[in-house]
Amino acid sequence: MSLLDNVIFCAFLCLVGGIATASQGAVNSKLGQYTGQGLSSTIVFCIGAVASCIYFLIEVRGRPPANLTLMMAKAPWWTWTGGIIGAVFVIITILAIPKLGAGTTTAIIVCAQMIFSCLIDHFSIFGIPFRQYTLWRGLATIGLIACVAVIAKF
């Protein structure tokens, strides 16, 4: 059994990911004040690329799978847009945090993530298994929007 099969460990990873995402915007925004917004985004992605390569080498134990090229060729076109989506996220946080603050920016982003994630589940977008957008999810959506309004106001 892998450690990633443990639900509690995966939930802990999500917690760390949430903290990292909230921190990332503030850190990137501050770097942008010193280097310029475009350069800070470039720096962030270069350092991220190195970190991702290190993780990849650890994951495959230094030996990429023999069929890697074949598997990559089978991937749908839209699976290659993740880097662009990541760049959009980083650039938006660099631009928005100085104006809205880290709390408001992150609240809006998390709210949008939650709502769109529920739509991804409901419409099985990107091949994700169906999960119905229920009344309870709708009420939670209203709650999320209300939380963003309170965080932005106060």
Report the pLDDT value the prediction gives residue 119, as an integer from 0 to 100. 95
Locate 19 and state its tokens: 């903290």
Indicate the DSSP class of residue 126: G
Residue identified by tokens 């460990």 is: 9
Domain locations in the chain as residue ranges: 23-153
**Mean pLDDT for each 10-residue chunk of the chain (154 residues)?**
89 92 90 93 94 92 88 94 92 93 93 94 95 95 96 94
Q: Report the interhelical angle of 82-100 vs 102-123 (nearest 10°).
A: 150
Which ranges of the chain does DSSP label H, i.e. alpha helix?
7-35, 37-59, 68-74, 82-100, 102-123, 135-153
Report the pLDDT value the prediction gives residue 51, as an integer from 0 to 100. 95
Using alpha carbons, select from 152, 153, 48, 52 the residue that is nearest to residue 109: 152
Report the pLDDT value the prediction gives residue 63, as an integer from 0 to 100. 86
Report the pLDDT value the prediction gives residue 2, as an integer from 0 to 100. 85
Indicate the DSSP class of residue 128: P
Report the pLDDT value the prediction gives residue 3, as an integer from 0 to 100. 87
